[in-house]
Chains A and B, each alone.
Chain A
C-alpha cells in the first residue's frame, strides 16, 4: 500500500488521470471543508513513492475534481464558493497557479463535477442550490441548467451515451436527464425514481418492507451494463437499479457499511464489481452478482461484500479505480489527510 499525506488538508475526492497510469488528483480542504482554503494536489506515482508534482490553492474548500477527457493536462474542481475552476498543469512551473477558466454560477457549494465521457466536449456540476449545470470549456457561461429542487450531491454522465446524465440528491431520488429530448417544461427530465422504494415483491416471499427516504450522496453508472446505476447515501445501503425498469425497485441491496456511504465507483474492468467509501472509515469492495449476464438481467439481490480496507483513520470520502494495468488498483482519500493507493485483491479472502 502506497501513501501520501495531504498535510493540513482533509481529502474530499480522488481521481486517476484517464491518460497516465501514474497520475492522481486529490481535491482537499482545510478544516474538514467547513471553513478555509482548498487545495488540489497533482500526485505522481514514482519508484520512490508518491510525490506531489504540483498543487493549486483555492480560496474556498474543494469538494470534487474531474480530469478533462479531451486534454491530458487539464482538470476541474468543484468549490465551496459555488465556482467551477479549470486548471492546467502543463503551464510552466514559474507561472502563477491560477485557473485558466472559471464558472461562478451556483448559489451554494458545488459538490460534484464530471466530464462527459463520450462526447468529451462538455462537463457538468451539481450543487447544494438544487441545480445541475452543463458547460462547454470554450464558453464562458453554462449552456444548460437542470433543476432538481434538492441539494444534489452527485451528478454523472452516462458512459454509454453522450446526452444522458443522472443525479442523486438529498430528496432520496435518482433523476435521469436525456438531452436529446426536446426542450420543454420538464427540463429534459426523463426519469425520477425514489431510491428508498422497496424491491419488487417476489412470489412466495413476504412483501419487502418500505424504508424511510434518506439523503443520497453518491451514484455511478456501470461501465458495461448500460442501464445499471448504483446509488448510496445516508441510509448506509448501496443499491443497484436498472433504469429500464424504474418501478421494479432496487435490483440488489448491498448492506454492511456502518455509517453513510460517501462514494461509490464501478470497476472499469469487471461488470459486477464496485468500490465504496464510507464515514465508517472503511472502503469496501462489492459484487452485485451481475457478472453472470452482461445484459444486467441476472443476479437479482445476490450481492455480497468481497473485501474491506480499514487503514484510514477518519471518514473515507473518495475512491477511484486505476484505468490501466492489472484490474484491482485503486486510490482512496479521507479526512485523515491521507491518500492511499492499494490493490483491492489484497483485501479479499482474508
Chain B
C-alpha cells in the first residue's frame, strides 16, 4: 500500500478510535503546560543533611532553583500554592516569607494547602485550575515537608467527644501503620510480596541514581547541619537522595522486625521513609509559554479526587486513577508510566494488582520506600520525576497518584513533550 493510502487509512482510523489518546497528545494554545519542574534532594528525617533545615528554607531552595532554571521574570508569577501537612498554621506565613526571600515580588500571592499526602499534587492542580478559569496566567504549584523538625503528635488536634463518639469519624485518627497492617491482612498481601515490591523499589532507585536519572529533576541545595557524632556544624551541598540503601533484596528485607504488630507484615523497610524535601512546578498556558519563550516540558490534562473509608485509605489510587483516566478519555493501557506513591508496599502493590497495571510501568525509578515521602512535597515531586523519565524514554502519557490519610485518593494525567 502506498504511503499516501496508509496515511488516509490511519486518518480514518483516528476518527473511529475513542479519540482520547490522539486528541490528548495534540497541542493547543489553551493547554496548561509545565515549563519547569524540580525538587530538592530528599534526605532522611532526623539523620540526613536537611535535618536541621526549616521547611520554609527547603521551599526557598526550590523557589530559587525554579527561578534560576526557568529564567522566568518572578513578577509574572501571580500565585503560588504550597502543599504542606505538618507545619503549624499550614506554614502560610513562612511560605509567603520564603517566596519573598527567594526573589518573588510582593505582588506574587502565596497560599498553603493541606490535603495530607496529596497536598503537593493538590497545589499543582489548584494552580492549573486557576489558570484554566482565567483567574491567573502564571503560577507555581509546590510542596514541602520538614518531617525532621515538624513530625510528631502535635500535628493533629485532639478529637472532641463529638468526633470520638462517631465511629467512622473516630477512624480518621487511627495511625496509618496500624490500619495498613489490618488492610494488608484483610486483602491478603503477604509479607513476602511486600518485601519483594520494596526491594524492587530500592533496586530501581539505586540503578536510577547510578545512571544519573535523577540529575535533571534534582536541584542541589546547600544545607547546614549538626553532625550527631562530633556535634560539629557542617555545611554541605546536597546533591542526591540519601535514603536509597544499596544492595537491598527481598531476602535482606525479610529479616526486619514488623513495626506495628508482632505477627505483622509492615516494617521500616517496606514502608515509606520519614524525610525532608521540597518540590516546585511552574505552570502557565501554552500561549503564555510561547509568548515568554519558555521551554515546555509537558502538560497537565486532568485530575481526580475521591473518598474511600478512612480505614482503607490505602486503596485511594485504585479508586482515583480510573476516574482520572475516564475524564481524560484514555484507557490504562494508553499510559506509559504510573508514579504511584509508595506509602506502604502493601497498599501500593494491592492497587497495582487490583487495577491490573503492568508493574514495569509503575515507579520506574523507585518510590517513597527507597528515597522517602516528605508528605506535602510528594505530589509535586512526582511531577518532575514523571516528566523527565517520560521525556528520556520518548514516551508521552503519565499518571501520578497517591493514597491520602483519612481515606482519599488523588490522581492526575500528564503528557510529556
Contact = CB atoms under 8 A, between A and B. Distances in A.
Interface string A315-335: 000000000000000000000
Nearest to B6: A34
Interface stretch (B7-15, B119-127, B183-191): B7-15
Given A214-B23, A234-B14, A235-B19, A35 B28 contact: no
B16 interface: yes
Contacts of B327: 209
B15 A215 contact: yes
Contact of B328 (A212, A214, A262): A212
A35 B4 contact: yes
B23 A172 contact: yes
Nearest to B15: A260
Contacts of B14: 215, 234
Interface string A234-274: 11000000000000000000000001101000000000000
A259 B17 CA distance: 8
Nearest to A109: B8
Interface in A191-226: 194, 209-215, 217
A171 interface: yes
A215 B8 contact: no
B162 interface: no
Contacts of A303: none
Nearest to A32: B12
Contacts of A31: 5
A171 B28 contact: yes
A33 interface: yes
A212 B301 contact: yes
A31 B23 CA distance: 27
A234 B329 contact: no
Contacts of B17: 234
- Most B CB atoms within 10 A — which of A31, A128, A215? A215
Interface string B289-322: 0000000000001100000000000000000000
A144 B132 CA distance: 35
Contacts of A259: 15-16
Q: Is the interface of A mostly helix, strand, loop or mixed?
A: loop
A296 B108 CA distance: 43
Contacts, number: 68
A128 B15 CA distance: 14
Contacts of B211: none
B26 A35 contact: no
A213 B15 contact: no
A279 B28 CA distance: 26
A279 B16 contact: yes
Given A171-B28, A209-B327, A214 B19 contact: yes
Given A171-B26, A212-B329, A214-B23, A35 B2 contact: yes
Nearest to A217: B15
A212 B15 contact: no
Interface in A168-195: 170-173, 194
A172 B8 contact: no
B30 A194 contact: yes
B19 A234 contact: yes
Contact of B16 (A170, A212, A213, A260): A260
A213 B2 contact: no
B26 A34 contact: no
A32 B11 CA distance: 12
Contacts of B302: 210, 212
Contact of A33 (B8, B16, B26, B301): B8
Given A33-B8, A209-B327, A213-B23, A172 B15 contact: no
A109 B8 CA distance: 9
B234 to A, nearest CB: 50
A205 B30 CA distance: 25
B72 interface: no
Given A33-B8, A34-B5, A171-B28, A211 B19 contact: no
B345 to A, nearest CB: 34
Contacts of A235: 19, 23
Contact of A35 (B5, B23, B328): B5
Contacts of A212: 19-20, 23-24, 301-302, 328-329
B156 interface: no
A80 B22 CA distance: 23
Contact of A172 (B4, B12, B16, B28): B28
B412 to A, nearest CB: 14
B8 A234 contact: no
Interface string A335-346: 000000000000
Nearest to A81: B4
A71 to B, nearest CB: 32
- Most A CB atoms within 10 A — which of B9, B15, B17, B132? B15
B1 interface: yes
A173 B2 CA distance: 31
A215 B5 contact: no
Given A171-B28, A194-B28, A215 B4 contact: no
Contacts of A211: 329
B28 A213 contact: yes
A80 B327 CA distance: 36
Nearest to A335: B12
Nearest to B17: A234
Contacts of A209: 327
- Most B CB atoms within 10 A — which of A80, A170, A212? A212
Nearest to B30: A194
Interface string B140-167: 0000000000000000000000000000
A209 B302 CA distance: 11
B263 to A, nearest CB: 47
A209 B129 CA distance: 12
B15 A279 contact: yes
A171 B26 CA distance: 7
B19 A215 contact: yes
A11 to B, nearest CB: 14
A317 to B, nearest CB: 10
B340 to A, nearest CB: 23
A48 B236 CA distance: 94
Nearest to B4: A35
Interface in B101-116: none
Interface in A263-321: 279
10 contacts: A151-B11, A173-B28, A194-B30, A212-B19, A213-B23, A215-B15, A215-B19, A260-B19, A279-B15, A279-B16
Would you list the 4 A-B pairs with minimal beta carbon distance, nearest first? A35-B5, A234-B19, A260-B15, A34-B5
Given A34-B1, A128-B11, A210-B132, 18 more contacts: A35-B5, A61-B8, A80-B8, A170-B26, A171-B28, A209-B327, A210-B302, A211-B329, A212-B20, A212-B301, A213-B26, A214-B19, A233-B15, A234-B17, A234-B19, A234-B23, A235-B23, A262-B15
